[in-house]
Amino acid sequence: MAQLYFRYGTMNSGKSIDVLKVAHNYEEQGKKVMLFTPVVNDRDGIGKVASRIGMQKEGIIVGPDTDMVKLAAEEKPNCILVDEAQFLTKDQVLQLTEIVDEQGIPVIAYGLRADFLGKLFEGSYHLLALADKIEEIKTVCWYCDKKATMNMRCKDNVPVFEGQQIQIGGNESYIPVCRKCYSLKKKQAHNL
């Protein structure tokens, strides 16, 4: 029975490498995989799913008018993978549920749970509400050895606590931190 999975983690937790690993495992067995990535994700080029360790693969760009249900019905993949799923809209998450429920295709969506202020992204909000299985991909805090649960935005290595929700970036812009270190850095920033 097909299910919708939401695998979330902080920045630098290995989400994209896991997407690429799962795609490889399916393809090595001669199975078809569809790999979707939102148009807003342009860190390594639009349509590219890339990990920080250098592996990458072309994906199908999901824009406002992309009909993932139709594409899945035409391609009939064994599995659908979605990278950077936090950037999906409610309607796009509903398309994923339709693919699972009506076409019987498993969907594994990977993304951030929350932004640099601890607020849920639209796609993450709906995936947390609708996914059959929710799994955390873990990493450690940049400053201590606790589990990282927050994404800290930085500019010139200085934590930032205001700005637009979406700012595409990598290690130069975000670090994974635990809630305690996040709170400490936020207090320090406000006391300056």
Whether residue 184 is found in the same domain as residue 94: no
Whether residue 95 is found in the same domain as residue 155: no
Counted domains in the chain: 2
The answer as to whether 143 is a domain residue is no
The answer as to whether 44 is a domain residue is yes
The answer as to whether 171 is a domain residue is yes
Element (H, E) at 16: helix 15-28
Whether residue 105 is found in the same domain as residue 173: no
**Which residues participate in catalysis according to the annotation?**
84
The answer as to whether 142 is a domain residue is no
Q: Which CATH number covers residue 108?
A: 3.40.50.300
Residue 66, token pair as written in the block: 């992309």
Whether residue 114 is found in the same domain as residue 173: no
Whether residue 160 is found in the same domain as residue 132: no
Over 70: is that where the pLDDT of 175 sits?
Answer: yes
Whether residue 182 is found in the same domain as residue 124: no
Q: How far apart are CA 84 and CA 157, in angstroms?
A: 24
The answer as to whether 77 is a domain residue is yes
pLDDT grade for 183, boundaries at 50, 70 and 90:
very high
The answer as to whether 154 is a domain residue is yes
Whether residue 123 is found in the same domain as residue 173: no
Q: pTM higher than 0.95, yes or no?
A: no
Residue span of the structural domain in which 154 resides: 150-190
Name the one residue in this structure whose structure tokens are 């936090």. Answer: 86
pLDDT grade for 79, boundaries at 50, 70 and 90:
very high
Whether residue 85 is found in the same domain as residue 169: no
Over 80: is that where the pLDDT of 55 sits?
Answer: no
Q: Which CATH number covers residue 173?
A: 3.30.60
The answer as to whether 145 is a domain residue is no
Q: How far apart are CA 143 and CA 43, in angstroms?
A: 25
Whether residue 48 is found in the same domain as residue 123: yes
Whether residue 117 is found in the same domain as residue 163: no
The answer as to whether 141 is a domain residue is no
Backbone CA torsion sign across 56, 57, 62, 63: positive
Q: Identify which of 12-16, 90-94, 184-188 has the greatest average pLDDT.
A: 90-94
Residue 22, token pair as written in the block: 């799962």
Residue 107's DSSP bridge partners are 4, 80
Residue 153, token pair as written in the block: 């935005």
